[in-house]
Amino acid sequence: MHYSFLADALVIFHLAFVAFVVLGQLAILVGIIFKKIWARAFVFRSIHLLCIGIVAIEGMLDVECPLTVWERNLRTEAGQDISEAPFIPQLANRILFYPGIPHVYFERMHIAFGCLVLITFLVWPPRLPKKTEESLN
């Protein structure tokens, strides 16, 4: 099995997940300011809240992200260090795990960002999908 390929794919997925949470919140705030309908979309907002909720709970419980653990285990199985990975996975890893920042600050950032998303969700709640006549029949 190609453990290094799986580890590379996983770290890229991990970065995409983080980008969805961070850029999604930015998009929601900008959309609310400019009164865009999509910024109050129920499915998008619910998935977004769920994603950061999981991360914030991990931070509160001091649980290491399963994606991080899984990537590390895959790299160990491959006998590979992240420095031996291709450029894009190395870059993704550097973005996700900025060197020199203690683990506790990441936990606090996750919790604080989760609170921001929750406050946004409560103050500007998503709109429930409208019922159409077809769905009533």
Q: Which of 63, 73, 25 is nearest to 47 (CA)?
A: 25
pLDDT at 136: 57
CA angle 57–91–82, rounded 5-degree value: 85
How buried is 75 (Cβ within 10 angstroms: 0-12 exposed, 13-18 middle, 19+ buried)? buried
| Residues 69-102: tens digit of each pLDDT | 999 999 999 999 989 999 999 999 999 988 778 8
pLDDT attached to residue 37: 94
Mean pLDDT (the chain, rounded):
93
Question: What's residue 51's pLDDT?
Answer: 98
The residue segments making up the domain with residue 59 are 3-136
Q: What is the pLDDT of residue 135?
A: 58
CA 53 to CA 70: how far, in whole Å? 20
Higher-pLDDT residue of 9 and 128 is 9
pLDDT tens figures, 97-116: 887 788 788 899 999 999 99
Choice among 48-52, 96-100, 125-129 with the minimum mean pLDDT: 96-100
- What is the pLDDT, as a whole number, of residue 93? 93
Write phi, then psi, for 111 (nearest 5 degrees): -65, -45
> Residue 3: which of 84, 99, 98, 88 has the closest Cα?
84
Q: State the total domains in the chain.
A: 1
Among residues of the chain, what percentage have pLDDT more than 90? Answer: 82
